[in-house]
Copies of this chain bind each other. A is one copy, B any other.
């Protein structure tokens, strides 16, 4: 038997999230979204999912198998990537959530994120060109002057040019304070940029005639450290006398990668001939602060990428488990009886249910985070915008990290469900596993997200964000209670929330005493703790919506039963881990603090 066609994401789940869990149509009451309604949301979702399934997904394996070529100083992409690039631009993904004033559709980010997830699940690296372009153009939209907006942003939003983020340098890695690329102001107003960047995704290609690198560099004489770094738009070719001329940006090398094989990761040299023009974006020395807009957007996007990658693999494993016959039920005594589909084996169902819990819990988390982004930007009153911004800030590192880390586990389980076939390249799970591994690294490693969460986000404004989160979680507990969800689940989540509060206060006190090391030592465990709680919150919300759906006789009942079962799984098998994690954070267990380099 052939498995069913992989849906990439479950349409019913997307509909459920948007309209039953999150009630996203309430956004249409806000002026920014006033032209929208459920039918325009659905129209966009439908066009993206159809394109993802019919056009994009069939390109995935060929693109994975033949990475871009680097010849004669230039990159040639896979022909399939060239074939899908323009249609994706025409779907509107570059500007779905941007205002009409810059050519956008003013869709809520939560809708754009869910629609985009279909595309990412279909071919992650092909989407990379567009998401980097959108983020880079948005940076210019926010911080660029009118000249830059009309010269660069417009063409980028139109998909005529693409964009990149050029932060990382070989000697600095995650440490942006150590950026050494330099910029010298000229009398003409532009800067001359010089330096080396590494891991620049989409840093060269033959899809469009030009590429704009949003580049961090240090203006001559700038202060040392993070406060001396500025942001520049540095095009591959610069407009000069009505045409595009080479701007002294060279590809120094292409990095061979484990996954994301359709999107080249490059080393770039800027200004080797002293003729690389850069255009300041935002104020001098504010580059990292500006770049954080793109980085924060990119972090939510990485979460979506990770969920999408895990989702495609989960559905592939599910389809396989439904049709692959092997073995018989426990205790079956007749060796002549036909074999059963492997989904009949409890351990296979465990692996599938865990994937479902991670994928759908992760998708709910990413969607919720995107919804706060919509409210932070467009809610009616300032207090509501501020509250949403706090929740957005708090959830961003979690929405990036949980899908990246647990998504990798989920992808490994999808491979495992396929048995020996899963290890073979004739099946897709091994490729998605390779893709997934990048998500814990790029846009801030998991370690950096943990420090950001505990060292900045939860302590900002005297813990205001965590207080706001507590309020949201308590609303969900009340909703679940009203809906008739198993009361123990809400009680468990309430207890976990209280425990999280205690741990946070204790760690913040260590920080206030000046013992930063003690405060942040278990930031990885703290991230895990918060993630488990936040995803339990999402599962309780889904359980409530499922009970509501069943109560009003909505269909299909099987879908809601599955949601309740997965909620039970997370709240009964994963949430109890918070005790151990909280104890670690509180005890300050010091093995790796004490461990000396010479002891390894």
Contact = CB atoms under 8 A, between A and B. Distances in A.
Interface of A: 168, 171-175, 177-178, 198-199, 223-228, 255-259, 265, 318, 322, 325-328, 330-331, 335-336, 339, 341, 343-353, 356, 408, 412, 415-416, 419-420, 422-426, 430, 433-434, 437-438, 440-442, 445-447, 450-451, 516-517, 520-521, 523-524, 558-559, 561-562, 565-566, 568-569, 572-573, 576-577, 579-580, 583-584, 587, 589, 591-600
Contact of A318 (B225, B353, B600): B600
A542 to B, nearest CB: 13
A327 B569 contact: no
B426 A441 contact: no
Nearest to A336: B224
A440 B425 contact: no
Copies, count: 2
Nearest to A570: B591
Contacts of A322: 597
B599 A573 contact: no
B595 A572 contact: no
Interface secondary structure of A, over-half rule: helix
A361 to B, nearest CB: 13
27 contacts: A171-B325, A171-B339, A173-B419, A174-B326, A174-B327, A174-B419, A175-B339, A257-B425, A258-B424, A330-B520, A331-B516, A346-B520, A346-B521, A347-B523, A356-B600, A412-B437, A416-B441, A416-B445, A419-B445, A423-B441, A558-B596, A558-B599, A568-B589, A573-B591, A576-B580, A577-B580, A580-B580
A581 to B, nearest CB: 10
A595 B562 contact: yes
A420 B408 contact: no
A433 B408 CA distance: 12
Nearest to A577: B580
A75 B523 CA distance: 50
Nearest to A348: B447
Nearest to A223: B335
B596 A569 contact: no
Nearest to A199: B420
Given A258-B425, A258-B430, A353-B600, 5 more contacts: A178-B327, A255-B426, A322-B597, A561-B599, A573-B584
Given A174-B327, A356-B600, A589 B572 contact: yes
Nearest to A256: B425
A592 B349 contact: yes
A53 B422 CA distance: 32
Contact of A353 (B330, B565, B592): B592
A576 B572 contact: no
Contacts of A591: 353, 565-566, 568-569, 572-573
Given A199-B420, A422-B441, A178 B339 contact: yes
B416 A335 contact: no
A339 B177 CA distance: 10
A454 to B, nearest CB: 11
A177 B576 contact: no
Contacts of A168: 420
Nearest to A431: B258
Which are the 7 A-B pairs with shortest beta-carbon distances? A225-B335, A562-B599, A569-B591, A256-B425, A347-B447, A224-B335, A175-B327
A599 B416 contact: no
A521 B329 CA distance: 12
A583 B584 CA distance: 19
Nearest to A347: B447
A437 B423 contact: yes
